[in-house]
A and B are shown apart, each in its own frame.
Chain A
């Protein structure tokens, strides 16, 4: 009897198969967390993709096709992502977008590569907008993967380029989460600092377990005792917020250079006391000087999604480049678009943007943004606080270029 019920269920599922692809839409499956602890950042990403699609559609779409963004919740779980990937394929999706979590990215790079090998003629293109592990554009690079964000090493290039211009920084403390990403950030920081500012003393290099520390005060006091005047950290989520909060409470006076200071929810948790101290290396902030068209784009977004702030500028870049590549190729076939994207260079709202042909990594200007009270025209999270950067805080895309070990295998 119990089994009969499961049979009925299975049969019901079998019939509930999805509708096929329709010819006049270009579907992008957005595979990221939409529920659970990482739901908010996934939701932001989805909003920006949807908005970018609406903007493109208003101008007639891509190659005459309307762009449709389908949000699929992967719960930041690699295995679940593969199920959602299959769901996307069954709906006739040929483009997927993902950003949260290198574990998910790793599973998807692999899955896309295998799918394309096993299903020729039905290839899928992977638009990575935020998973920054360098390995995806190095040892594990794939023809079907394009990254629109600077990878962790490039960000460190940018951070250290910026430090080069900061004479007052003499002692640096590196702290990070004890896993592959944290270790990679620490290694890149040591390597770049020794090369670019040999006079700087690295007074500490520490890893702490991922997401387990409740009170960072002991770490912060170690940092203060070491006399550091800058902290470099790749921490994200609670690990970053708690670190910054503790540092501010204990009266740390130096700079805290982060990768993810601008991520969702951080501003409220850090609070006003963090202004002037916390910096984040990003490709865009909403207080940059903007052209009218770009300002309209940003304001339009913030008006439509009033609870959300414009953060993932790279999504707008990715959508524009997708459209340009399709126009260049005269087709919306992923393979043709992939070839067209290789080596594409254009003038974006923030400067020159290039998609490297050798490893499918984007090069774009980076900005060392400061969490500030002053000079803020667009605040974040309904606070009068926001992210600003000055003239010296700009690092050109070309300067962040790193050597690649990628041996790209292109389909014939």
Chain B
């Protein structure tokens, strides 16, 4: 039996009296693309923060490739092979695009806190950086200051930094939020291509993106997962339809078509 890439058991998190995550169980296989959907306030971001080390779980366990990571610091989790992006662009604004990606590459290539090497002379770092930039199609903007990029490109850069470290498990927090239709399509293609062969956990509002990309989908409502399954199973699940009222249910419907 293979170990799950990510395995969450009875995960709970409360802030004071408010229980945000109320017992989540989830298994994600290696190489799987898994999406989490749910209405606003369901606790999706909290769940992400718990997995990536931003918050400490109140109880329960989170295992990455079989190793417990609940309550571990983000940088340690990252070194164990999990990387994440942010809902709001979270890049190094005062650096160039190339330097941004390079920051993502450095640690994974073993240059941690090195202070005896010149970054300019690290050929493999340069090569890896260029590879990533090419993969996300930012090569021609490599030497621009990151803060001057258009919004969609900043989102792309966000993803580029996330995948730069070569993590096997990638968490993407609403990667297409705020993008136009054509930009979204491009982004989806890019994510698919860039995360080829990796385990992907994605939170997304755009149902089109979700049903297009995910192998499996979990539905998070009020801190609990009410359903997990293939897109077709989720689409027909009455509990899910119940949770999604009005427009969003239509959206489910519409995408099913």
A and B touch in their complex, CB below 8 angstroms = no
> Chain A: residues with CB nearer than 8 A to chain B?
none
